[in-house]
């Protein structure tokens, strides 16, 4: 696993040995960041990113490599946190990161540390595929922490639909084998 583009291109990332973490494949990340770049996400003001269910941090670290100003990583699994901490250290981006060692749940979105770090311009959600329904239920609470032109990227099994989310509008879904990436934007009425 490696960073696919930006200032840290080709730098290696480590992953925990356990099967509890499912890092986004390099080719899927590269495709995602091509989409984000074509949408101008990194062109003007550097985005503030939020990586929920961060695991190894590959998505948020890729965003930092491509010009994000800061990334908040949220992860609770110890093995994943060890890999995330090592990846942040080895890439030398600790000054542009915050790691919250908590579960992704409703109270998280009211937490002062998360509120102080936002509003977020770019959010990555890569939950365990079996937890998609619980994650979808959290998305309305997340909408309150987003900048007006924010994008939310939800990674899920290609056999599952991304669904509708109050406060967000589904703009695109791309399928890469068993993986789907659904991009949401803040709805105009939000």
pLDDT in tens, 142-152: 888 899 999 99
pLDDT at 139 over 60: yes
**Banded model confidence at residue 120, pLDDT cuts 50, 70, 90:** very high
Question: What pLDDT does 117 receive?
Answer: 81
What was the pLDDT predicted at 23? 72
**Percent of the chain residues past pLDDT 70, beyond the cut:** 96
Q: Name which of 12, 167, 171 is nearest 154 in CA terms.
A: 171
pLDDT grade, residue 43 (50/70/90)? confident
Domain boundaries, the chain: 26-155+170-186
- How high is the mean pLDDT of the chain? 89
E strands in the chain: 48-52, 70-74, 97-100, 120-125, 146-157, 168-176, 179-186
Return the minimum-mean-pLDDT range out of 14-18, 70-74, 88-92, 159-163: 14-18
What CATH number does the domain located at 26-155+170-186 have?
Answer: 3.40.50.150
For residue 22, what pLDDT is reported? 67
């Amino acid at each position: 696993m490696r960073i696919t583009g930006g200032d840290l291109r080709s730098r290696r990332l480590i992953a925990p040995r356990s099967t509890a973490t499912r890092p986004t494949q390099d080719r899927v990340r590269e495709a995602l960041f091509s989409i984000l770049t074509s949408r101008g996400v990194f062109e003007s003001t550097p985005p503030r990113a939020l990586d929920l269910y961060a695991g190894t941090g590959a998505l948020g670290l890729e965003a930092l490599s491509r010009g994000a100003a800061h990334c908040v990583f949220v992860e609770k699994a110890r093995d994943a946190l060890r890999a995330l901490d090592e990846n942040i250290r080895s890439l030398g981006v600790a000054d542009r990161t915050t790691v919250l060692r908590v579960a992704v749940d409703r109270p998280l979105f009211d937490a002062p540390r998360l509120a102080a770090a936002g509003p977020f311009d770019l959010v990555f959600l890569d939950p365990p595929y079996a937890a998609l329904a619980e994650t979808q239920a959290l998305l309305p609470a997340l909408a309150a922490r987003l900048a007006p032109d924010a994008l939310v990227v939800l990674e899920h099994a290609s056999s599952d639909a991304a669904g509708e989310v109050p406060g967000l509008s589904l703009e695109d879904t791309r399928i890469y084998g068993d993986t789907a990436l659904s991009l949401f934007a803040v709805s105009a009425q939000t």
